[in-house]
Copies of this chain bind each other. A is one copy, B any other.
Amino acid sequence: MGVGASIQSFKGRRQRSLALEVRDELERMILNGAIPGGERLNENTLAEQMGVSRGPVREAARSLEREGLVEAVANQGVFVRKLSVEEALELYDLRALIAGYLCAQLSNIVDSAIIRELRAFINDMDAAIAARDEQRYFETNLAFHDRIAAASGTTRAKTLYAALSKEVRLLRLRVLTGEASLRLSNAEHQQIVEAIESGDPDRAHEEGARHHSNGKKRLLETLSRDEEAPGESVVAEGIDKPASNCRMQRSN
């Protein structure tokens, strides 16, 4: 499936503008790693690939810029953001704060249906561990935290959490890996759900934040392990394209 087809096929009666479609597609490509960090987004090439003109591409780029996924330089273009380790650690801190807030808010309005849903995710993640399916764990983990955010009754905190989670993925490191880490992580999920169920906002905040702080620790461990063996760094989920189908780097 080509990039152009996916967007051009919607060109009939649509209520989502091309700029939005391009934005989503670009975001997907960036988070997938199809466009590596530091790479330039060539407006002409992308417009041609997606079968649209440069206008929507430029609008999409402005949108992504504010979201922190790309950086624009005047008269030079927009580049996929490259996270430094320090920036990534800061993002983990911020996400821990927001996650704590989300859990606390949810604990105030929690009902049994939500708890059941969250427990189902936890069971699914346990199953993924047993099946040694890390990709499935990864996706269910995302769904679990998204569900908490969606049910929290917040508006800005929810979108903020989503934005920070996307930004973190710029690091392109699979932090959650290995059966031991996965089991620990899911045990924390259990603690989070119990804290939310208890209806105690402080306890829910504590557990939600702690889980993400532990994530930061896991990141640090992964990084120090990579220091020792830089050759076999653990990369994130599958990359769609080799990205060299369009040469976007200006200099070598």
Contact = CB atoms under 8 A, between A and B. Distances in A.
A39 to B, nearest CB: 18
Contacts of A90: 154-157
A140 B99 CA distance: 32
A25 interface: no
28 contacts: A13-B74, A15-B75, A17-B74, A17-B75, A19-B62, A20-B74, A55-B58, A58-B59, A59-B62, A60-B62, A62-B62, A62-B66, A63-B66, A65-B66, A66-B67, A68-B156, A90-B154, A90-B155, A90-B157, A91-B156, A94-B98, A94-B101, A94-B157, A97-B97, A97-B98, A97-B101, A156-B167, A160-B160
A200 to B, nearest CB: 17
A112 interface: no
Nearest to A65: B63
Contacts of A13: 74
A179 interface: no
Contact of A12 (B74, B87, B101, B157): B74
A43 interface: no
Interface residues of A, number: 37
B156 A94 contact: yes
A145 B157 CA distance: 21
Nearest to A155: B87
Interface string A100-122: 01000000000000000000000
A128 to B, nearest CB: 31
A250 interface: no
A155 B160 CA distance: 16
Contacts of A160: 94, 160
A66 B101 CA distance: 21
Q: Which of A15, A16, A66, A75 has the most CB of B within 10 A?
A: A66
